[in-house]
């Protein structure tokens, strides 16, 4: 992939309104020249998240995350750097310029652009045909019978494919696209006797978009009951991968960020009905089991995911597979207990939107759902059936870790099995092995590393900084605030003065970039990016000046000498006289500078 010109990246950052972007995720309030709010990356009660509108920077003094406006879009929307730049460029009308690239890479990029344009034009045609053609009257009647209003249908771009065999084919060719391109995105297919015809005909069309709103493909529902299959998807291709997409994610991601929760439903109409009922954080897996790519995408937006899939056996098994797929990702998977025989669209059609909202709000942790489902499905009439049920639930309980929730579930299991609660807990204490000494089978749906405790796995707040770390960061911030004096001080620092490799890299970087520390900062080094951002944002608060810098430097020098002396004593010998003399000299100089600072 070609690289953006440095000027392009700077123009994008300059045009982007970082306060507007971050305000979609957390409420900000002005404090002096900064904006402050609750951190959108970890739970906190007191605001420690700071935004600098002028420099287009953010930093959380609680959890340590930080970066520029591009980095924020990368982190919160699950995008790579190129995609984040493109998103911001599109949003703020910045023309993108790229450096010279390999001709084949440039051709591939242009081809993807043309295919995307073709899909977008076709989606607009289908949408217009739904509302403007007589042929689509029955489709409009059907959608209305499902309780879906025009507003939500237009918002998600629902359309209708005409019954004629070549409408999309001829329109696409007139627009300058060839048959190969139409075939590459699955809009036409070859006939048995040669020639090509439209793949989608007489079907309600659901455009499937990526998080940026770009059409990737279509899901299509047959209108006539005798048409098979009932649902027809775009074929897998250059742009469309069913397992990588979530229907409605482009409309839902803002609501997910606002509410801190995603709701996963099964089908297209479930998503439409949920959005119409105000559950705008709903996305659809389009009738398939949730995939690792979909889980990864959800995890980039939230840690709280409610599964509101059908209550039949396949729906329940899909929810348990979601637990396996989640693996070690920090997701709190919960289940909304849908009534048997009803899906979200049915409930909302019946006017039960409040009931659905209640089920989502009261969603149970996935381990609890798993245990209850096993108990409901098990043959509890025989000892062997109860043994099999116990074999399956004990690993689920063991994975939850010690908690009141686990103890309550263990008592429920013992009650349902008519067994001694101690039998259940002894199995749990063995880590999921069978209580009777047999090799327990791994529970269905238990994901490695997921834990299954039902509590949300939040971003860990880092340990408090040591005095040495606070001192060195203060010194580097002073150097940024006063670059003329700071350059000389940086030149005296050695790796032995510093507490970690990332601080060493920061000193090396600042040595050549004090006038503009963020310009050209290597984005692949996330630790360095976060630290330098923090230092820049702290620079205004540091006293600066030659005296303060000298005092901090001497204190770091003192720490270094103390370390050398400690190492010598640890080897059983006396520290060299030179080190002892240097320690005494530093103590005198530090006392002098501290006295000067106090005056």
DSSP line for 399-450: HH-S-HHHHHHHHHHHHHHT--HHHHHHHHHTTS--TTSS-PPPPTT--TTT
Reply yes or no on whether the pLDDT at 293 is more than 90. Answer: no
Task: Report pLDDT for 193.
Answer: 81
Lowest mean pLDDT of 251-260, 311-320, 435-444, name the range: 435-444
Contact residues for 119 (Cβ-Cβ < 8 A; gap 6+)? 185, 187, 207, 214, 215, 216, 217, 239
pLDDT band of residue 101 (cuts 50, 70, 90) is low
CA angle 282-453-412, nearest 5°?
105
pLDDT band of residue 312 (cuts 50, 70, 90) is low
Which range, 334-343, 452-461, 500-509, has the best average confidence (pLDDT)? 500-509
Q: What are phi and psi of 58, to 5 degrees?
A: -135, 150
Over pLDDT 90: what percentage of the chain?
Answer: 28
Full strand arrangement of the beta sheet holding 28-31: 28-31, 34-37, 49-52, 57-60, 66-68
Task: Report pLDDT for 211.
Answer: 86
**Between 263 and 451, residue with greater pLDDT:** 263
The Cβ of residue 558 has, within 10 Å, a number of other Cβ atoms equal to: 17
Reply yes or no on whether the pLDDT at 439 is more than 70. Answer: no
Task: Report pLDDT for 25.
Answer: 84
Q: Is the peptide bond before 190 cis (omega within 30 degrees of 0)?
A: no
- The residue among 2, 50, 5 whose CA lies nearest residue 520 is 5
Please name the residue ranges forming H helices in 59-204: 69-77, 81-92, 103-132, 137-145, 150-155, 167-174, 179-184
Q: For tokens 């599109």, what's the residue?
A: 90
pLDDT digits (tens, 9 = 90+) for 346-369: 888 888 778 888 888 889 888 888
Task: Report pLDDT for 276.
Answer: 92
pLDDT band of residue 215 (cuts 50, 70, 90) is very high
Task: Report pLDDT for 458.
Answer: 42
Task: Report pLDDT for 587.
Answer: 87
Task: Report pLDDT for 317.
Answer: 72
Task: Report pLDDT for 273.
Answer: 92
pLDDT digits (tens, 9 = 90+) for 128-147: 999 999 999 999 999 999 99
Distances (CA, A) of 185 to 163, 215, 423: 19, 10, 58
Reply yes or no on whether the pLDDT at 323 is more than 80. Answer: no
d(CA 348, CA 325): 29
Q: Do the Cβ atoms of 325 and 291 come closer than 8 Å?
A: yes
β-pairing, 282-284 vs 262-265, is parallel
Task: Report pLDDT for 217.
Answer: 95
In the structure encoding, which two tokens stand for residue 361, read together? 């709000």
Lowest mean pLDDT of 11-25, 476-490, 575-589, name the range: 575-589
Lowest mean pLDDT of 339-343, 357-361, 448-452, name the range: 448-452
C-alpha 34: how far from chain center = 26
Reply yes or no on whether the pLDDT at 343 is more than 60. Answer: yes
- The residue among 248, 236, 334 whose CA lies nearest residue 286 is 248
Lowest mean pLDDT of 158-162, 231-235, 293-297, 489-493, name the range: 293-297
β-pairing, 66-68 vs 57-60, is antiparallel
Reply yes or no on whether the pLDDT at 543 is more than 70. Answer: no
Q: Do the Cβ atoms of 124 and 117 come closer than 8 Å?
A: no
**Torsion, CA 134, CA 137, CA 139, CA 143, rounded to 10:** 140
Reply yes or no on whether the pLDDT at 126 is more than 80. Answer: yes
- The residue among 212, 247, 211, 7 whose CA lies nearest residue 90 is 212
Q: What is the mean pLDDT of residues 254-263?
A: 86
pLDDT band of residue 123 (cuts 50, 70, 90) is very high
In the structure encoding, which two tokens stand for residue 315, read together? 């729906």
In the structure encoding, which two tokens stand for residue 178, read together? 């060839």
Q: What is the mean pLDDT of residues 284-305?
A: 83
Contact residues for 264 (Cβ-Cβ < 8 A; gap 6+)? 246, 282, 283, 284, 285, 290, 298, 305, 306, 307, 308, 309, 322
d(CA 571, CA 592): 33
**Between 314 and 503, residue with greater pLDDT:** 503
Q: What is the mean pLDDT of residues 274-286?
A: 92
In the structure encoding, which two tokens stand for residue 539, read together? 């620079």
Q: What is the mean pLDDT of the chain?
A: 83
Task: Report pLDDT for 460.
Answer: 47
Reply yes or no on whether the pLDDT at 115 is more than 90. Answer: yes
Task: Report pLDDT for 220.
Answer: 96
pLDDT digits (tens, 9 = 90+) for 384-434: 888 888 888 887 787 777 778 888 888 888 888 888 888 888 878 775 543
**Between 83 and 183, residue with greater pLDDT:** 183
Q: What is the mean pLDDT of residues 11-22?
A: 91
pLDDT band of residue 596 (cuts 50, 70, 90) is low
Q: Do the Cβ atoms of 36 and 50 come closer than 8 Å?
A: yes
Task: Report pLDDT for 452.
Answer: 38
Reply yes or no on whether the pLDDT at 207 is more than 90. Answer: yes
Full strand arrangement of the beta sheet holding 332-335: 282-284, 262-265, 304-307, 332-335, 364-365
């Amino acid at each position: 992939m070609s690289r953006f010109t440095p000027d392009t990246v700077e123009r994008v950052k300059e045009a982007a309104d970082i306060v507007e972007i971050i305000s979609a995720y957390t409420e900000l309030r002005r404090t002096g020249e900064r904006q402050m709010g609750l951190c959108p990356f970890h739970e906190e009660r007191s605001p420690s998240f700071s935004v600098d509108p002028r420099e287009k920077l953010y930093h959380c003094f609680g959890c340590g995350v930080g970066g520029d406006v591009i980095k924020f879009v990368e982190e919160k929307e699950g995008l790579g750097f190129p995609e984040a730049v493109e998103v911001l460029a599109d949003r703020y009308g910045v023309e993108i310029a790229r450096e010279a690239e390999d001709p084949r890479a440039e051709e591939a990029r242009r081809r993807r652009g043309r295919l995307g344009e073709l899909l977008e034009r076709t989606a607009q045609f289908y949408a217009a045909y739904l509302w403007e053609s007589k042929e689509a009257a029955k489709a409009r009647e059907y959608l209305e019978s499902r309780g879906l209003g025009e507003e939500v249908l237009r918002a998600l771009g629902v359309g209708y494919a005409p019954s004629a065999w070549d409408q999309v084919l001829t329109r696409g060719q007139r627009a300058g696209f060839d048959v190969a391109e139409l075939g590459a995105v699955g809009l036409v297919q070859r006939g048995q006797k040669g020639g090509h015809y439209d793949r989608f005909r007489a079907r309600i069309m659901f455009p499937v978009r990526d998080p940026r709103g770009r059409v990737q493909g279509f899901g299509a529902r047959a209108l006539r009951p005798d048409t098979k299959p009932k649902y027809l998807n775009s074929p897998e291709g250059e742009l469309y991968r069913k397992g990588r997409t979530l229907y409605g994610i482009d409309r839902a991601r803002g609501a997910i960020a606002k509410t801190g929760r995603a709701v996963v439903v099964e089908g297209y109409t479930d998503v439409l009905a949920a959005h119409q009922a105000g559950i705008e954080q709903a996305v659809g897996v389009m009738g398939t089991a949730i995939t690792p790519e979909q889980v990864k995408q959800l995890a980039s937006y939230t840690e709280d995911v409610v599964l509101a899939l059908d209550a039949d056996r396949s729906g329940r098994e899909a929810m348990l597979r979601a637990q396996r797929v989640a693996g070690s990702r920090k997701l709190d998977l919960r289940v909304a207990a849908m009534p048997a025989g009803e899906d979200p669209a049915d409930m909302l059609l019946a006017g039960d939107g409040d009931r659905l909202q209640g089920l989502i709000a009261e969603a149970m942790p996935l381990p609890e759902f798993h245990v209850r489902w096993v108990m409901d499905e098990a043959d509890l009439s025989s000892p062997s059936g109860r043994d099999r049920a116990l074999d399956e639930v004990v690993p689920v309980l063991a994975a939850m870790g010690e908690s009141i929730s686990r103890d309550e579930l263990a008592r429920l299991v013992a009650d349902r099995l008519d067994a001694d609660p101690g039998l259940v807990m002894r199995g749990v204490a063995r880590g999921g092995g069978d209580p009777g000494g047999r090799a327990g089978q791994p529970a269905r749906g238990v994901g490695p590393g997921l834990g299954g405790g039902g509590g949300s796995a939040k971003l860990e707040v880092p340990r408090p900084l040591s005095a040495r770390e606070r001192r060195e960061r203060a010194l580097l911030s002073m150097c940024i605030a006063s670059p003329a004096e700071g350059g000389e001080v940086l030149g005296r620092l050695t790796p032995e003065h510093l507490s970690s490799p990332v601080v060493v890299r920061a000193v090396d970087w600042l040595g050549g970039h004090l006038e503009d520390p963020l310009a050209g900062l290597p984005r692949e080094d996330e630790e360095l990016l976060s630290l330098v951002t923090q230092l820049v944002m702290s620079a205004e608060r540091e006293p600066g000046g030659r005296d303060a810098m000298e005092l901090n430097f001497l204190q770091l020098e003192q720490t270094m000498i103390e370390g050398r002396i400690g190492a010598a004593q640890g080897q059983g010998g006396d520290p060299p006289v030179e080190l002892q003399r240097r320690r005494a000299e530093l103590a005198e100089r530090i006392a002098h500078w501290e006295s000067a600072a106090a005056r």
